[in-house]
């Protein structure tokens, strides 16, 4: 067999033709999306084909952040992840969901870059910031001139981040009123290579209410140390940081006035949970289309794999899972656009899609045989990346417990 020419050091083009992405919607789950929503989806798909897929394996393998792609994402207005920014068109949850699916169909790190910058950091400021803060940050963040992080999780508080221990206390230094922040954060996307971090901290001290508040902290503030977490086997083309906050002073106007309890944090996470559900669908679609293409061209025992009954059954099972996922995200997103989506429904969507995407990725990885673990054949990257989605923004178990509490009326986790 003639090996394709490497497109990046250490990375080869796929062993089969994936140049024409499937427009996969077997039962018309998205048949009624508005023309502008469909146009947004197709624009993201075209961007992924032209800009992401030709280069992403190299970044993933080298564990480098594709900063040149971040710039291009901003130029296309994809970096804000559908968050409302003054002066830019409003984007429906449906359009943004379709965009998240297409972006993740290309690459999970790139989708997570948009999720961190737009979905988490920018959204926190737009949702809870003062008009001055929105004016100062929203435009530059949408343009990619300021890169933001969202720091909630701590080394000792993940699923129970509501019990976070990072503190903020009021203090006046050199005549400037402000806050002193101390603590540690873990797993913070862009926390070591961005410009600002939205830090969630408990307000303590004489004037403290012991509630969780949000603060915009410059990453070059004295006492802020962001260390990139190394050796990560999922989403390798975006860095997460371990952050130490040691006597970090920020002026009073760094506090987000609308973020004065954990409810504000939860409101941001509620808005992003559905986007993660859509991303999981994107990973599953990528694995499914690779499996179909591979099965058609791989000859074993004198016939293509696609001609084997067991292989057809497995492809049908994958399509069945993807179709179920698509129907669920489409319907929950219709509810979101109508302002009727509950947190529990969003949890059910994230629970279901991340779980089923893992299964689809696992079958595809197997169906490609040894080629299934080669980066250039794409499935291995999605197989690894879906693991992060399974955990972040609320683990599978936590989503199950949220739905379980709704079903039974009994909280099993707190």
Ligand X SMILES: Cc1cc2nc3c(=O)[nH]c(=O)nc-3n(C[C@H](O)[C@H](O)[C@H](O)COP(=O)(O)OP(=O)(O)OC[C@H]3O[C@@H](n4cnc5c(N)ncnc54)[C@H](O)[C@@H]3O)c2cc1C
User: What are the residues binding ligand X (CB under 6 A)?
Assistant: 116, 150-153, 158-159, 187-189, 235, 240, 388, 391-393, 395, 397-398, 401, 413
Nearer to ligand X, 110 or 401 (CB): 401
Nearer to ligand X, 122 or 188 (CB): 188
d(CA 283, CA 322): 10
Q: Which residues contact 404 (CB under 8 A, 6 or more apart)?
A: 410, 412
**Least Å distance between CB 144 and ligand X?**
17
Nearer to ligand X, 56 or 388 (CB): 388
**Least Å distance between CB 153 and ligand X?**
3
Q: Which two tokens stand for residue 217?
A: 């902290």
Task: Please name every residue paired with 304 in a beta bridge, in sequence order, or none if there are none.
Answer: 299
Nearer to ligand X, 335 or 400 (CB): 400
DSSP reduced 3-state for 374? coil
Residue whose beta carbon is closest to ligand X = 158
Nearer to ligand X, 49 or 395 (CB): 395
Nearer to ligand X, 53 or 401 (CB): 401
**Least Å distance between CB 405 and ligand X?**
11
**Least Å distance between CB 311 and ligand X?**
33
**Least Å distance between CB 205 and ligand X?**
24
d(CA 240, CA 191): 6
SS3 content of the chain, % helix, strand, coil (to 5): 50, 15, 30
**Least Å distance between CB 287 and ligand X?**
19
**Least Å distance between CB 239 and ligand X?**
10
d(CA 188, CA 299): 45
d(CA 378, CA 158): 30
d(CA 38, CA 20): 18
Question: β-strands 299-300, 240-251: how paired?
Answer: unpaired
d(CA 14, CA 381): 12
Would you give the distance in Å from CA 261 to the centre of its chain?
Answer: 24
Nearer to ligand X, 126 or 398 (CB): 398
């Amino acid at each position: 067999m003639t090996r394709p020419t490497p497109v990046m050091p250490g990375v080869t083009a796929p062993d089969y033709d994936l140049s024409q992405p499937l427009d996969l919607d077997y039962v018309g789950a998205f048949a009624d999306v508005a023309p502008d929503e469909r146009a947004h989806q197709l624009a993201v798909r075209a961007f992924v084909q032209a800009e992401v897929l030709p280069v992403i394996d190299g970044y993933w393998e080298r564990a480098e952040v594709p900063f040149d792609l971040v710039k291009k994402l901003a130029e296309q207005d994809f970096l804000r992840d559908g968050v409302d920014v003054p002066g830019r068109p409003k984007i429906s949850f449906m359009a943004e969901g379709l965009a998240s699916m297409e972006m993740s169909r290309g690459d999970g790190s790139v989708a997570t870059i948009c999720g961190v910058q737009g979905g988490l950091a920018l959204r926190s400021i737009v949702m809870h910031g003062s008009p001055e803060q929105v004016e100062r940050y929203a435009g530059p963040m949408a343009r990619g001139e300021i890169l933001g992080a969202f720091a909630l999780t701590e080394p000792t508080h993940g699923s129970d981040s509501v019990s976070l221990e990072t503190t903020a206390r009021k203090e006046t230094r050199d005549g400037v009123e402000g806050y002193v922040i101390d603590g540690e954060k873990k797993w913070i996307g862009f926390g070591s290579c961005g410009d600002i971090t939205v830090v969630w901290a408990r307000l303590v001290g004489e004037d403290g209410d012991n509630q969780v508040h949000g603060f915009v902290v410059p990453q070059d503030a004295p006492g802020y140390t962001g260390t990139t977490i190394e050796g990560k086997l999922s989403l390798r083309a975006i860095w997460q940081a371990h952050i130490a906050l040691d006597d970090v002073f920020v002026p009073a106007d760094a506090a987000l006035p609308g973020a004065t309890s954990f409810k504000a944090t939860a409101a941001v996470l509620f808005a992003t949970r559905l986007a993660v559900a859509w991303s999981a669908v994107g990973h599953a679609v990528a694995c499914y289309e690779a499996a179909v293409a591979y099965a058609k061209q791989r000859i074993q025992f004198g016939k293509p794999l696609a001609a084997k009954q067991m292989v057809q059954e497995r492809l049908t099972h994958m399509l069945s899972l993807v179709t179920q996922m698509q129907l669920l995200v489409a319907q929950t997103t219709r509810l979101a656009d109508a302002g009727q989506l509950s947190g529990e429904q969003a949890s059910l969507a994230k629970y279901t899609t991340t779980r089923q995407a893992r299964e689809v990725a696992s079958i595809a990885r197997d169906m490609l045989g040894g080629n299934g673990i080669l980066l250039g054949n794409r499935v291995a990257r999605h197989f690894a990346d879906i693991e992060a989605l399974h955990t972040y923004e609320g683990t599978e178990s936590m989503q199950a417990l949220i739905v379980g509490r709704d079903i039974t009326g009994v909280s099993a986790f707190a």
